[in-house]
């Protein structure tokens, strides 16, 4: 690699596949690995470079694969180890990279390690999970502290055999591993990490990578929800004291053998300094992280993110959340990511734009333009390329499958005595941010079951009502479709890589409620005016000899997040420079003086 060539995982675009809902090859109603293989040419043609496959490991599926019972076996409905080897091969033949999900904060309670651990306090794996004695109150056992599990209820579960509780930050079938024990860490490196790197994969998306290290005094959490028994305890288990030590150890003992792999960590709830501490290249911990500020918008994370208390954010909040990821690389050796969707979120056009029929496609294209112009490794989620959107508020809880959503709904139902108005409110929250929105089958065609599975098969989860209008086959036949626009934008992103993928970001209109306008310039370049990239002295812009000689081209990206027309607003410092319209998300011919409803544009300013 030439000294200045950025790593493949910086410039590549990554497409996330959540296997159960992606493509079913054998008509059992569940997506599978052969189904993934059958679409690789489609993905290559779309212009992606990396595939992230969500968990395909053997699992009882209590949390749809994030509860792994065997790191070295495949969940049978998804296929076989031969299918996985074939997938790795077929990706590489096409020049695509493949990364897997690395879920090592916890295992399934069916994993052989836990099965052994729970049997007694003295077995060889007795300390492989986090066991604590109960609090005894009036002769009865109670959890050792008041921590609330992320999916609701106590974070502790009682086991008769040991007369102890074990910790589970997610559902009770996902016991947390005891990372404090070196033996456990070594077993994870060998069984979950090296096994797959040896089979040829190119890296991992690291699940909840900032939760391994807990406050080992396990104090009660502060009461944030006075009406509730269990309290959000993030501060006691997020970004704990030994995180850096273990991430560095993992690199040294395990990953360093495998060259330039991608380790992208899921890292919710972290401020800029914390994020930087994980992704600074000098620290050699993670390649980059998925920062959740954008996808957490409209939810109240600090109090446990109750789904029925979801609200519609304001556009400036959206801009600030994205700016956090953009500013991360400014004057640092860090790297970042850009994404609006994954398997845990509502669909982006519903959350951040609109899915009303009149503007749905315009909004999908505008969001595509907006995020393909941002710096960092770009992540797209299955179906985002065709503008799949959230399910209706009219769906009922029986249509949903996600444990987090079901727990959230049942909690409201119970708390308010099955009051229909409260229940409807809970459903509205789930229709906005519930995880099932992203888990509905990919809409491949207008055939019954959206072409996801056979016509007579029964998909494991309900298909979106609008699949006849929103599907891949229809969009492949149309030049003005969201799919065609995504393809175009991924080409533009490649062509203007120095600006779009690697460049510095400058916010232009933070407080505007309708538009989001920003400038991208070559990393570290000075501007010809008062932009914040310019060298300033005593309040005046200092023009170096170099900057006087050559002003680097910049792009101005402007997006209309409303159905009103809006003016195009260039920073004053760009006056007198040449502006060329590179792309309009609607059409270049019709792009007059004003932005049309839900239109996005990119201008090249030279
Ligand atoms: C984050 C994953 O993205 C989510 O789907 C899962 O439920 C939790 N981690 C627990 O593994």
CA of residue 551 to ligand 1 center, whole Å: 46
* Domain stops at, among 486, 514, 535: 486
CA of residue 15 to ligand 1 center, whole Å: 18
Give the span between the Cα atoms of 284 and 281, in whole angstroms. Answer: 5
Q: Are residues 431 and 521 in the same domain?
A: no
* Domain stops at, among 455, 486, 517: 486
Phi, psi at residue 324, to the nearest 5°? -60, -45
**Nearest residue (CA) to ligand 1, atom 10:** 66
- Three-point CA angle 3, 526, 493, nearest 5°: 60
Is pLDDT above 70 for 107?
yes
Please give the pLDDT value at position 484. Answer: 98
Is pLDDT above 70 for 541?
no
**Is residue 230 assigned to a domain?**
yes
C-beta separation of 51 from 17 below 8 A: yes
* Domain stops at, among 486, 512, 543: 486
**Is residue 578 assigned to a domain?**
yes
For the chain, percent of residues with pLDDT exceeding 90: 91
**Is residue 497 assigned to a domain?**
no
pTM listed for this prediction: 0.95
Q: Which of 21, 61, 63 to probe ligand 1 with, by most ligand atoms within 8 A of CB?
A: 63
Q: Are residues 480 and 513 in the same domain?
A: no
**Is residue 121 assigned to a domain?**
no
Q: What is the mean pLDDT of the chain?
A: 94
Q: Are residues 474 and 561 in the same domain?
A: no
Full residue range of the structural domain in which residue 562 is found: 503-605
Give the span between the Cα atoms of 568 and 561, in whole angstroms. Answer: 13
Q: Number of structural domains, the chain?
A: 2
Pocket of ligand 1 (CB under 6 A): 63, 66, 103, 170, 207-208, 266, 343-344
Q: Are residues 434 and 563 in the same domain?
A: no
Q: Are residues 292 and 397 in the same domain?
A: yes
C-beta separation of 23 from 443 below 8 A: no
Q: Are residues 482 and 526 in the same domain?
A: no
Q: Are residues 472 and 516 in the same domain?
A: no
Q: Are residues 325 and 276 in the same domain?
A: yes
Q: Are residues 380 and 434 in the same domain?
A: yes
pLDDT digits (tens, 9 = 90+) for 334-350: 999 999 999 999 999 99
Query: What is the arithmetic mean of pLDDT over 391-410?
Result: 96
b or e along 111-133 (b: 16 or more beta carbons within 10 Å of the residue's beta carbon)? bebbeebbeeeeeebbebbbbee
Q: Which atom of ligand 1 is nearest to the CA of 67?
A: 11
Q: Are residues 544 and 413 in the same domain?
A: no
**Is residue 414 assigned to a domain?**
yes
Give the span between the Cα atoms of 405 and 429, in whole angstroms. Answer: 9
Q: Are residues 327 and 448 in the same domain?
A: yes
Q: Which of 52, 99, 208 to probe ligand 1 with, by most ligand atoms within 8 A of CB?
A: 208
**Nearest residue (CA) to ligand 1, atom 5:** 344
Is pLDDT above 90 for 351?
yes
pLDDT band at 330 (very low <50, low <70, confident <90, very high): confident
**Is residue 319 assigned to a domain?**
yes
pLDDT digits (tens, 9 = 90+) for 51-95: 999 999 999 999 999 999 999 999 999 999 999 999 999 999 999
Q: Are residues 438 and 552 in the same domain?
A: no
**Nearest residue (CA) to ligand 1, atom 6:** 66
Is pLDDT above 50 for 534?
no
Active site amino acids: 207, 266
């Amino acid at each position: 690699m030439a000294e200045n060539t950025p790593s493949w995982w910086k410039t590549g675009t990554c497409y996330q596949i959540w296997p159960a809902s992606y493509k079913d090859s054998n008509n059992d109603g569940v997506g599978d690995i052969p189904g993934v293989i059958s679409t690789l040419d489609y993905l290559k043609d779309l212009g992606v470079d990396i595939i992230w496959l969500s968990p395909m490991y053997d699992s009882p599926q209590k949390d749809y694969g994030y509860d792994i019972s065997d790191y070295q076996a495949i969940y049978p409905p998804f296929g076989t180890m031969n299918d996985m080897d074939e997938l790795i091969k077929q990706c590489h033949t096409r020049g695509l990279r493949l990364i897997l999900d690395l879920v090592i904060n916890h295992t399934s309670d069916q994993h052989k390690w836990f099965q052994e651990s729970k049997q007694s306090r003295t077995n060889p794996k007795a300390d492989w999970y986090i066991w604590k004695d109960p609090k005894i109150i009036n002769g009865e056992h109670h959890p050792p502290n008041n921590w609330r599990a992320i999916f609701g209820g106590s974070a502790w579960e009682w086991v008769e055999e040991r007369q102890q509780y074990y910790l589970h930050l997610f559902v009770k079938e996902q016991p947390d591993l005891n990372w404090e024990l070196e033996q456990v860490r070594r077993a994870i490196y060998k069984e979950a990490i090296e096994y797959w790197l040896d089979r040829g994969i190119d890296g991992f998306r690291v699940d909840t990578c900032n939760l391994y290290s807990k406050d080992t005094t396990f104090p009660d959490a502060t009461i944030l929800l006075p009406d509730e028994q269990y309290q959000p305890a993030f501060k006691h288990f997020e970004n704990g004291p030994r995180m850096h030590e273990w991430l560095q150890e993992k690199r040294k003992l395990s990953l360093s053998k495998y060259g330039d792999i991608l380790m992208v960590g899921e890292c919710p709830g972290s401020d800029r300094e914390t994020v930087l501490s994980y992704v600074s290249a000098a620290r050699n911990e993670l390649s980059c992280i998925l920062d959740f500020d954008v996808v957490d918008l409209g939810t109240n994370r600090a109090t446990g993110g109750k789904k029925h208390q979801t609200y519609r954010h304001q556009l400036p909040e959206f801009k600030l959340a994205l700016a956090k990821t953009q500013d991360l690389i400014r004057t640092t050796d860090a790297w970042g990511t850009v994404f609006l969707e994954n398997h845990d979120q509502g669909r982006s056009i519903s959350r951040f734009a609109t899915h009303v029929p009149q503007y749905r496609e315009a909004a999908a294209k505008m969001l595509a333009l907006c995020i393909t112009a941002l710096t960092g490794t770009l992540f797209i989620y299955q179906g985002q390329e065709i503008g799949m959107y959230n399910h209706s508020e009219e769906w009922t809880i029986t249509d949903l499958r996600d444990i987090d959503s079901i727990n959230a709904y049942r909690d409201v139902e119970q708390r308010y005595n099955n009051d229909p108005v409260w229940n409807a409110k809970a459903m509205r929250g789930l229709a906005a941010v519930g995880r099932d929105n992203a888990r509905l089958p990919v809409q491949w065609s207008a055939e019954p079951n959206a072409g996801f599975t056979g016509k007579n098969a029964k998909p494991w989860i309900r298909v979106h009502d609008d699949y006849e209008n929103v599907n891949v086959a229809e969009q492949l036949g149309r030049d003005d479709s969201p799919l065609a626009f995504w393809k175009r934008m991924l080409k533009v992103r490649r062509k203007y890589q120095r600006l779009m993928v690697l460049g510095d970001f400058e916010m232009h209109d933070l407080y505007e409620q309708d538009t989001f306008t920003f400038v991208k310039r070559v990393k570290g370049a000075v501007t010809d005016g008062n932009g914040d990239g310019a060298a300033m002295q005593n309040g005046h812009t200092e023009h170096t000899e170099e900057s006087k000689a050559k002003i680097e081209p910049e792009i101005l990206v402007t997006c209309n997040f409303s159905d009103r027309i809006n003016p195009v607003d260039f920073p004053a410092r760009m006056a007198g420079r040449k502006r060329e319209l590179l792309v309009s998300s609607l059409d270049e011919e019709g792009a007059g003086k004003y932005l049309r409803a839900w239109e996005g544009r990119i201008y090249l300013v030279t």
